[in-house]
Structure 1
């Protein structure tokens, strides 16, 4: 089920499925996170998980911190890839980076039984503050052209 969450005036696109959510890394998400990732990630995850519970009648079995880190790392990789393509003007390298960017656009966050790398995000969840610190403070679609 596709959902659009209006969070502080930003339309955040998410797909809810049993044991899985998909968050779309797009200009709206970037604008929402811009400069305030810590508190805004928390709000976003709480809203999505509450809606998931309402829709499916059970809690999504992913910790908030694990979910935040997974989304954050994908958003950051998307940002780095777009920045790289602005600086490196070699077509074949840009084409390769664009393929990687396509994978970073949709963040599949699944429970352990459906997501073989959930353990990675669970392991990194304790470093959430560090990852938030690394996220650029000027993360915004205005700064880097974002679809």
Structure 2
């Protein structure tokens, strides 16, 4: 996944028809720690840049996209924290825990954000949209 042609505050972003992919790495984590509504600002930038590149809007709302970013980063960070407690896990459970953590990380290292017709998870992020202010606040990403 080295075709990340877009960048926003060193965050790698890949634009394709009806899909954007965001690299979940230190640049993204660092940006989301800034005292602003980072996921919302990133989502706004992505939607604006998508429209500029494809001359049409990406059919994802700004809050749905921002919430998806927050959720993926939260789950990825949680998997990293679990890795730090492996010495406290019973020996016979370590292999399955390590496998689960590795699987989670593989699924969260690139955040695939697609329109509803091609992203079977879009309904999850859309359904959380009415709670965006609360989610931003809980994530420390309050607007």
**TM-score exceeds 0.5:** yes
The answer to whether the aligner puts 1:49 opposite 2:47 as a matched pair is yes
CA radius of gyration, larger in? 2
Q: Alignment partner for residue 5 of structure 1, among 1, 4, 7?
A: 7
Give the Cα–Cα distance (whole angstroms) in 2 for the partners of residues 132 and 81 of structure 1: 21
| Cα distance per residue 1:25-80 (max 9 Å; x no partner) | 111100011153x5222221121111111111101110000001111100000011
- Any stretches of 5+ residues in structure 1 without a counterpart? 138-147
Moved over 6 A (4+): none
The TM-score normalised by the length of structure 2 is 0.84
Give the Cα–Cα distance (whole angstroms) in 2 for the partners of residues 118 and 24 of structure 1: 18
CA RMSD of aligned residues (A): 1.8
| Cα distance per residue 1:5-26 (max 9 Å; x no partner) | 242xxx0011101000011111
The TM-score normalised by the length of structure 1 is 0.82
How many residue pairs were aligned? Answer: 133
Paired position in structure 2 for 1:142: none
Q: Alignment partner for residue 57 of structure 2, among 50, 56, 59?
A: 59
